[in-house]
Amino acid sequence: MNTIRLAVDVDSGDYGPRVVLSGIVEARAALDVPFKVYMCGNRERIEAAADEVGGGERLGDVQVVECNDIIDPGDRRASVWKKQTGAAIVRCITLQKEGAVDASISAGDTAILMGAALFILGRSEGALRPVLAALLPTVKKKPVLLLDVGANLNCRSEHLVSFGILGERYLGRTRKIPSPVVTLLNIGKEAVKGTREIAEAGVQLRERCSGYGGFIEGNDVLTGDADVVVCDGFSGNVLLKACESFHRLAGSVLGDTASHNDDYKRKMMILDPDNYGAVPFLGIDGTVLKAHGGSSSRAIANAIAAAITAVKSRAVREPM
Amino acid sequence: MNTIRLAVDVDSGDYGPRVVLSGIVEARAALDVPFKVYMCGNRERIEAAADEVGGGERLGDVQVVECNDIIDPGDRRASVWKKQTGAAIVRCITLQKEGAVDASISAGDTAILMGAALFILGRSEGALRPVLAALLPTVKKKPVLLLDVGANLNCRSEHLVSFGILGERYLGRTRKIPSPVVTLLNIGKEAVKGTREIAEAGVQLRERCSGYGGFIEGNDVLTGDADVVVCDGFSGNVLLKACESFHRLAGSVLGDTASHNDDYKRKMMILDPDNYGAVPFLGIDGTVLKAHGGSSSRAIANAIAAAITAVKSRAVREPM
């Protein structure tokens, strides 16, 4: 098998280079496939972190890509890719554009990463906007795909339609579900409910998605009846994080009775950012994964595993 | 104590008059306060339902208010109050305007109920728009107040600010929290995150709410650090219902280990529409409660209890 080449943004994330490099070490120990990591960031800090995590041997096949541009919090985030070309989060994407790597991982700002991915790599065929997708557990054995979970805050109807189609094709490729049930998140099931954008998107999705299942309310998202739930990035982010919050609440009250229940633990694994690692952008012509800002080393290790799987299966990158 | 007079919309709700009348019977048995119910709806169907639930004696002090206007699904919902003045959901509110009742309860359409309440009863002093408020459980002993949960889908910054102030004053009155921590739901904590409306609302709330606590993400809503979470009605509806959905998911996996845990059961009670009964509109010059479309008889009984408590404490109606 060819060595899979990954660009990892070592500068972003809340906990600094040491945690990201620990993640690489953990991935190296856990994964039985050859992969090379291009560590993008400040050389001095990367070298100090490398020493802290036990040095080059434990990191394996890695290379430092020096990146020294600093992003100012006042910069317009969607255009950072044009101005700070030497920022680690942008450099990952240009490496990918140059063909030096197969995929990128960053725990940096979503809007900056999306801007870079969209304008440097371009959209995949037929996609209107990139979208972040996440999986949620359901009452049934299969999870539900939720998109968008934070890339697009204001969506017109055609964007929602495009998300539905991206989700349908993604599940077709990754889970071999030929005609997944695609639903639109709304505050009621009746046609008069919700915004005009949602109503219009519903009309179009009914024509364009063979498995379109109509509107879905928040209280039915986790029943397992839907395979895909489409919404704007604000609602999706709230929904995803509310589930994480509720999971923690249940755990805090139930304690051992929850944590010792294997079924429960298994089902909830996909809700824990440490386990899912990172979520993919769909609609980009390339594999770009967004890790949580607060990623632990285990989250980074799992993000690397997810990126490798995506590259191998061409799950994210294949055109619509 | 004076008899509290309630208008109950018997025509709305998914399960028809029999369930609503059963709710009145259950409330009568459970509550030790004198109250009279004006049952608004189709006389024939109410009388048939009254027979089914055991007749007049079990219903106690009730009166039928005949309402025969039918709302067409194609009607513009916010102006139904003007055209279908003889629809049960509207008649409840006009009874209240006339001073015949102290509060109204309906399981009908939120937009229709809000239109009627807003235009017939008017806003309470200082409120810009009515808002639906709900309580969520938290890791701490106290719940968090979430608003809006479905009355206003598109909100400008001044609406969000107004919701924050309504929430602050409501908790001041009902829970004697003098300076509650008021937060704004967003997809990140940094000032650059989210929409312009949210950013502007944050600036204003910092000036106008003494306990303003900044942005909050979905994953921190249930930690108990915030007393009030402000958001638009779409996100709030999704958040509230996602918690209900997750609660059912956890219950389905954990089974007895959850249902036999008293702490868990107690904490989750406020999430179950059967228990909370109905949620109040804040910002209306009067006590109007919106019950879930799928209300059971127990939900209606608890909605009656909630309405009586609100009237007695003047919790909802008192001006800002």
Tokens of B95: 């009874």
Tokens of A133: 């997708």
Question: 3-class DSSP state for residue A208?
Answer: helix
Mean pLDDT check: name the lowest of A46-55, A56-65, A73-82. Answer: A73-82
DSSP state for residue B316 in the 8-state scheme: T
pLDDT digits (tens, 9 = 90+) for A85-131: 999 999 999 999 999 999 999 999 988 999 999 999 999 987 999 99
Instruction: Tell me how far apart the alpha carbons of residues A234 and B186 are, in angstroms, rounded to a whole number.
Output: 8
Residues of chain B with pLDDT under 50: 318-320
Q: Which residues of A touch B139 (CB under 8 A)?
A: 248-249, 252-253
Does residue A62 carry a pLDDT above 90? yes
Q: What is the pLDDT of residue A320?
A: 38
Q: Do A222 and B194 touch (CB under 8 A)?
A: no
Count of CB pairs separated by less than 8 Å, A with B? 156
Q: Do A219 and B248 touch (CB under 8 A)?
A: yes
What is the nearest CA distance from A104 to chain B, expressed in angstroms?
A: 22
Please name the residues in contact with A17: beta carbons below 8 A apart, sequence gap of 6 or more.
A10, A11, A41, A42, A45, A46, A48, A49
Tokens of B214: 């900044």
Q: What is the pLDDT of residue B23?
A: 97
DSSP state for residue A123 in the 8-state scheme: B
Does residue A314 carry a pLDDT above 80? no
pLDDT digits (tens, 9 = 90+) for A197-206: 999 999 999 9
Interface predicted TM-score (ipTM) of this complex, two decimals: 0.86
Q: What is the pLDDT of residue A319?
A: 41
Residues in B 177-216 with any Cβ partner in A closer than 8 A:
185, 187, 190-192, 194-195
Q: What is the pLDDT of residue B269?
A: 86
- Cα separations in angstroms, A248 against B30, B172, B218, B288: 35, 28, 12, 34
The partner residue sitting opposite B242, judged by closest CB among A233, A243, A258, is A243
Confidence at A259, pLDDT banded by 50, 70, 90: confident
Please name the residues in contact with A33: beta carbons below 8 A apart, sequence gap of 6 or more.
A1, A4, A308
Q: What is the pLDDT of residue A1?
A: 63
Q: Do A249 and B139 touch (CB under 8 A)?
A: yes
Beta strands B144-147; B278-282: pairing state:
unpaired
Q: What is the pLDDT of residue B2?
A: 86
Confidence at A46, pLDDT banded by 50, 70, 90: very high
What is the nearest CA distance from A232 to chain B, expressed in angstroms?
A: 10
Return the amino acid letter for A107.
A
Instruction: Tell me how far apart the alpha carbons of residues A123 and B108 are, in angstroms, rounded to a whole number.
Output: 44
Q: Do A264 and B253 touch (CB under 8 A)?
A: yes
DSSP state for residue A132 in the 8-state scheme: E
- pTM of the full structure: 0.87
Q: What is the pLDDT of residue A315?
A: 61
Q: Which residues of B touch A219 (CB under 8 A)?
A: 241-242, 244-245, 248
Q: What is the pLDDT of residue B216?
A: 97
Q: Do B246 and A242 touch (CB under 8 A)?
A: yes
